[in-house]
Chains A and B, each alone.
Chain A
Amino acid sequence: MSLLLQLLVNGVALGGLYALVAVGFALIYGSTRVFHFAHGSAYLLAAYSYYWALAVAGTAWPIALVAATVVATLFGLAVERWVYRPMRGGRQSFLTVFVASFGVFVAVENAVLLAFGSRFYTLPSSLSRVFELGPVVVSPVDLLSIAGSAVLLILLHLFLTRTGTGLALRAMADNPELLNGVGLDRNRYARIAFALGSALSAPAAVLASYVAGLTPGMGSSAMLIALAATIVGGVGSLAGAALGALLLGVAENVGIWRLPANWREAIAFAVLLVFLLVRPSGVLGAARR
């Protein structure tokens, strides 16, 4: 029983990090309809920027965190400006945008590989040292993941519901044409969605680096989970994406209670497939195909 509780706590900590990446993706996808596969690149760049600032340049962690967030945000703005905006409104289909996005993803992953090599980096820290908390064993990173993602998601929710900009973003998700109709600039809100969505992946990347270290492949696994969570949660629903991510994090951890650890990713995607077949609109999605 305490094992199950332990796996549940681990699952929530992992799910919280997934949620930040997934909500960023869902925000971008919902408001701009860009299937931003390269969202994983923002995550990858944030992780390596943090590592570089901390371990190579020797700055303090808050500065490194800011640097990571800035790099992720700039990356999001750059692809919006130079890749997706020229593609908007042409003959481009969903697939062309997907393939272009994939091209960005491959280019970034290999640029990182050239700059840092394929070796595995770890962050030296006492943050991942575990201690007992009641019946379970946790590390400070676990607690930070849970608290940090909760705070950031609540802030995002307040931003989207209480400010004019947030309202416009949500309006754009419902009906992009409407935004032009009331005299708001779509490009400006697309920029905000990309900046915000990409920035959210930075804290997730940093915390995940403390837990699992850094490899050039980390972006692709984060991206896959974010995609799965968005679909499980229901396209167009940020709360659904967050919930989907939590569900996948917990499913992965509880799943290895009975199955070998190598099945983690497969478990998450089996959950996804079942959802797609049983409830294609997701947990919280609106009823659409």
Chain B
Amino acid sequence: MTAYLESLAVLCAIAAILASSLDLVLGFAGIFSVAHAVFFGIGAYAASLVALHLTASLAFALAVAMAAGAGAGLLLAVPALRVREEYFVVASLGFQVVATTVFEQWQAVTGGIGGLTGIPPPTVAGLKVESYAGMAALSVLLAGAVLAGLRALVRSRLGRALQALNQDEVAAQAAGHNPVTLRTLAVVVSCSLASVGGVIYAFFSSFVNPESFTLDESVRVMVMVIMGGAGTTAGPLLGALFVTLFPALLSFLTIPDQFLGPIQRLAYGLIVVVLMVYEPDGMVGLARRLRRLRALAPAGKPGESTA
């Protein structure tokens, strides 16, 4: 049971890293990417290759994975500068499909469909982290660092320039911001941070295969951001926790195994639809609405505070 909770903590940390880093481009820079799982995958493959062939040092794996993620991010930045909105959604979709095929077919590097196995546990400052508890602590620490870094970035001059660009490109340009540099930087940072999630995933599961980095995963991350509330700090975190923990909650119900997966996903799909129809600002919007109701309650008729 503890092992189960600890592994859930690792999965939540990974989801939080993916959702928050995607929100940098999606919520703050207005670049609608459905290719985030590609960078998650690149981080995981890079860490696995380093751990299998060079060293199990976490710091080294992180450095290599983030560099690889940033490099691949440059590829995605090219269409991001050319096309916007629905066109970019489809461009990133194309990027995702091509990358999935490369993961599956590039036997020599990715191990093809079978993937890479036998990844050793990571070492931190010479110490081997083997236990689930150690892995959970490490993941939560890394997620905390990524989230704090993103928060600082969004509040910096650079982050504000990015939001200005998203709201009014002409005005932002007139204020001296260069859209090409800013957008490229946002995409590269976002992709590089997503690969941190991949590093944790590779060390935690000790094997990686292309199944974890498909379009489904990309859309799942996007759903976390939109469901939670794009362009906020709390939103992606809430969305990540909900999307990761929700199936775990349902698995406590007594449903026959072969129906459990489809029922989980059916319920998840329906919740997403209902939330989007009634509260397009996501869970953050929902919380805001509740807070407003509570603030109004003393002034309103008694007993109607939860209406």
Contacts and interface: CB of A to CB of B under 8 A. Distances in A.
Interface string A76-111: 000000010011001111111111101111111111
Contacts of A3: none
Given A94-B86, A277-B79, A228 B272 contact: no
Given A98-B89, A99-B272, A289-B87, A276 B277 contact: no
Contacts of B262: 110-111, 113-114
B268 interface: yes
Contacts of A114: 259, 262-263, 266
A263 B82 contact: no
A170 B147 CA distance: 47
B105 interface: yes
A157 B266 CA distance: 37
B82 A277 contact: yes
Contact of A100 (B100, B102, B258, B272): B272
A219 to B, nearest CB: 13
B270 A103 contact: yes
A107 B87 CA distance: 25
A241 B104 CA distance: 29
Interface stretch (B129-137, B201-209, B222-230, B292-300): B222-230
B105 A96 contact: no
A100 B266 contact: no
Given A110-B269, A265-B97, A273 B86 contact: no
Interface string B88-130: 0111011101101110110000000000000000000000000
Nearest to A280: B83
B84 interface: yes
A106 B83 CA distance: 28
B265 interface: yes
Contacts of A272: 90-91, 94
A110 B283 CA distance: 24
Interface in B51-94: 78-79, 82-87, 89-91, 93-94
A184 interface: no
Given A98-B89, A102-B223, A110-B265, A273 B273 contact: no
A111 B280 CA distance: 25
B29 interface: no
Interface string A52-74: 00000000000000000000000
Nearest to B105: A262
A264 B223 CA distance: 28
A228 B122 CA distance: 41
Contacts of B189: none
Interface string A248-289: 000000000000101101101110110011001000000001
B32 interface: yes
Contact of B78 (A104, A269, A277): A277
Interface residues on A, range: 35 or more
A35 interface: yes
A10 to B, nearest CB: 20
B276 interface: yes
Interface in B260-307: 261-263, 265-266, 268-273, 276-278, 280-281
B90 A96 contact: no
A112 to B, nearest CB: 9
B87 A269 contact: no
Nearest to B84: A289
A193 interface: no
B272 A106 contact: yes
Contacts of A97: 276
A62 B281 CA distance: 46
Contacts of B186: none
Contact of A95 (B104, B226, B266): B226
A239 interface: no
A270 B101 CA distance: 11
B217 to A, nearest CB: 13
Contacts of B46: none
Given A91-B280, A95-B26, A273-B98, A263 B83 contact: no
Contact of B273 (A83, A231, A265): A83
A62 to B, nearest CB: 32
A44 to B, nearest CB: 13
Given A265-B101, A273-B95, A106 B32 contact: no
Contacts of A83: 273, 277
A46 interface: no
A107 B79 contact: no
A92 B101 contact: no
- Sort A-B residue pairs by CB-CB distance and give the 5 closest, nearest first: A103-B272, A107-B269, A106-B269, A266-B101, A100-B276
17 contacts: A92-B276, A99-B276, A102-B223, A103-B268, A103-B269, A103-B270, A103-B272, A105-B269, A107-B265, A110-B262, A110-B265, A113-B262, A117-B258, A231-B90, A266-B97, A266-B102, A270-B94
Given A109-B265, A270-B98, A289-B87, 5 more contacts: A102-B272, A106-B265, A113-B262, A265-B97, A276-B91
